[in-house]
Amino acid sequence: MNAVSVLFRREMRLAMRQSADSVMVIAFFVIAVVLFPFGVGPEPNMLARIGPGVIWVAALLAAMLSMDRMFMGDYEDGSLELLVLSPVALEFVVLVKVLAHWLTTGLPLIVTAPLLFVMMNVPTEIWPVLLMTLLLGTPVLSLLGSVGAALVLGARRGGVLLSLLVLPLLIPVLIFAVGSGDAVLYGTGAKANLMLLGGVLLGSLALTPWAAAQALREAVA
Amino acid sequence: MLHYFANPTRFQRLSRRIEPWLLVAMILCFAFGLYFALFSSPVDYQQGHTVRIMYIHVPAAWMALFCYTAMAVAAAVAMIWKHALADVAAKATAPIGAVFTFLALVTGSLWGKPMWGTWWVWDARLTSVLVLFFLYLGYMALRDAFDEPGRGARASAILVLVGFVNVPIIKFSVDWWNTLHQPSSVLRMDGPTIHPDMLTPLFLMAAAFQLYYFWLVLVRIRRELMANRTRALRHRQAAA
């Protein structure tokens, strides 16, 4: 457990020293969403209608930006080999990395989201639900992203390839997340969608560390 | 059994012997299946002649799922037992599966226009099959993305196994969500709900598609093995 906390502190320290990465993700998130009122016109009702979806898609793409960095630095400077050889189970290493990635990407996205809700004229009654979907959904982005990031280590054009691998698998998250907001507006309640999203989170929390760890072993083999 | 056929020479000898039979059986199934499907099967009372799209669409969709499942099994075998042929089989299956998936999407779209009045709807079945198509593309892209082929093979094997979650979602999407695509009418608990006159050509076509797959995958595996052998010989020549 001590080794895990040491690793976590290392990850956070590295992330803090390169805080520009997190800032860039947020900047991309905001700019991508802000483009839509220019693209589709600033009509408030339409923005309210498409707002949740646009914000979620932008969050998805913003999270993709930092995903390929998850193991890249360790892979390039060789510390990944030491992590693989360390007595800590590689699955825990992956979970620590995922947690660090979520704290530096997912959490800032959630904090920024209300600002964009205002700008996209999202009805206030669905704010809590949308924040809840972001809270449940962004960890899934980091978890599935860890598998993708481990798979493309050493690949040509890894970043683009990563989107091709991970984005299709993230479609269910998008569907259930945006569906929760719509369900509240239609008066059916978001419980079913939120539970499905929670199920996706628990399922990926249980399964992706194994896949990512195996992919990391292959990467350094 | 598993290791008996791990020997490429033995496999090639066997596969060369089986291929002609598969080819003949496939041609027969296609001939009878297409005849029944296009001429000798009843017209649907609502859909008219467009129902004949079913005889391509449904087998193609079945094969799309079958190919992915076969790839996942092959990838698992390759990963667990380091079975060399299983990995080649997964590689050989991917483009075939992608084409079947594409065929299912295109015929479904052509069928959707007269029946639903639209080429495409974002219902659960269509969306999940589209995701399957992307998974095939991702597999092939990841496999080719490495300078060292072995690394690509191992990485893409993991991807196939991760993506396998989509297969049950596709199968049950029409039961879990109440969507435009009709629920399954052949593989269901209380027996098929299609009339035998339509079921016969459907099964003949399904058998033809299946045989086509087996024939093609054997040819492709053999081709891949020969390519590997040529590469090895070239290397030896260059080294000498």
What Rg do the C-alpha atoms of chain B give, in angstroms? 20
Q: Which amino acid is at A90?
A: L
Q: How many domains does chain A have?
A: 1
Q: Which range among A86-90, A107-111, A215-219, B172-176 shows the weakest confidence by mean pLDDT? A: B172-176
Apex B55 CA angle, B53 and B56, nearest 5? 75
**Chain B residue at shortest CA distance from A204:** B162
- Between these two residues, B189 and A8, which has the higher pLDDT value? A8
Q: Which of A161, A172, A218 sits opposite B141 (nearest CB)?
A: A161
The pLDDT assigned to A138 comes to 93
* Amino acid in position B145: A
Interchain pair B145, A164: CB under 8 A: no
* pLDDT of A12 higher than 70: yes
Task: Give the number of C-alpha atoms closer than 13 A to the C-alpha of residue B150, restricted to the C-beta side.
Answer: 7
Q: How far is CA B128 from CA B63, B169, B170, in A?
A: 15, 7, 6
Lowest-confidence region among A81-85, A134-138, B109-113: B109-113
What's the pLDDT score for residue B214?
93
User: Does any domain span residue B100?
Assistant: yes
Give the pLDDT score at B179: 64
Please give the pLDDT value at position A184: 83
- Say if the Cβ atoms of A152 and B135 lie within 8 Å: no
pTM of the model: 0.84
Contact A155 B146 (CB under 8 A): yes
Which residues, numbered 124 to 153 in chain A, qualify as contacts with chain B under a Cβ-Cβ cut-off of 8 Å? 147, 151-152
Alpha-carbon span A55 to A47, nearest angstrom: 11
**Single-letter code of the amino acid located at A186:** Y
Other Cβ atoms within 10 Å of B12 Cβ, number: 16
Distance CA A101, CA A200 (A): 18
Residues of B with CB under 8 A from a CB of A: 127, 131, 134-135, 137-138, 141-142, 145-147, 151-152, 154-156, 158-159, 161-163, 165-166, 169
Phi, psi dihedrals of residue B215, rounded to the nearest 5°: -60, -50
Q: What is the pLDDT of residues B28-76, one digit of tens each?
A: 998 888 888 888 777 777 777 777 888 889 899 999 999 999 999 999 9
Range of A119-128, A137-146, A189-198 with top mean pLDDT = A137-146
Mean per-residue pLDDT, A149-171: 87
- Give φ, ψ of B65 to 5 degrees: -70, -40
Packing angle of the helix pair A90-101, A69-77 (nearest 10 deg): 130
pLDDT classification of A164: cutoffs 50, 70, 90 = confident
In a domain, B201, yes or no: yes
Nearest to A139 by CA among A102, A169, A173, A88: A102
Mutate to test the interface with B, among A90, A147, A157, A165 (most CBs of B within 10 A): A165
Residue with tokens 């980091």, as numbered in its chain: A142
| Number of domains forming the structure of chain B | 1
Write down the mean pLDDT value for chain B: 85
Q: How far is A178 from chain B (nearest CA, A)?
A: 14
- The separation between the first and the last C-alpha atoms of chain A, rounded to the nearest angstrom, is 26
Cross-strand pairs, B44: B48
Pairs across A and B, CB distance < 8 A: 65
- Provide the mean pLDDT of chain A: 88
**CB distance A161–B145 less than 8 Å?**
yes
Instruction: Note whether B78 and B157 are within 8 A (CB).
Output: yes
Gyration radius of chain A over CA positions: 18
User: Looking at per-residue confidence, does B96 or A180 come out higher?
Assistant: B96
To probe the interface with A, which of B122, B123, B142, B161 has the most A CB atoms within 10 Å? B142
Ranges of residues in chain B whose predicted pLDDT is under 70: 1-2, 5, 175-180, 184-193
The Cα-based distances of B106 to A23, B109, B112, B172, B198 in angstroms read: 43, 5, 10, 21, 22
Instruction: For residue B212, tell me if it sits in a domain.
Output: yes
Confidence of residue A212 (pLDDT cuts 50, 70, 90): very high
CB distance A123 to A49 below 8 Å = no
Q: What was the pLDDT predicted at B7?
A: 79
Domain that holds residue A200: 2-220
Any domain includes B81: yes
List phi, psi (to 5°) of B44.
-70, 140
A32 Cβ contact list (under 8 Å, min separation 6): A58, A61, A62
Residue B138 amino acid letter? G
Residue A95 has pLDDT above 90, yes or no: yes
Per-residue model confidence (pLDDT) at position B92: 92
Instruction: Identify the three-state secondary structure at position B1.
Output: coil
Q: Say if CB B128 and CB B167 are below 8 A apart.
A: no
Tokens matching residue A59 = 């969050």
Pick B134's closest partner by Cβ from A155, A158, A168. Answer: A168
Residue B30 domain-assigned (yes or no)? no
Is the interface score ipTM higher than 0.85? no
Residue B48 β-bridge partners: B44
Please give the residue range of the domain that contains residue B154: 56-183+194-234
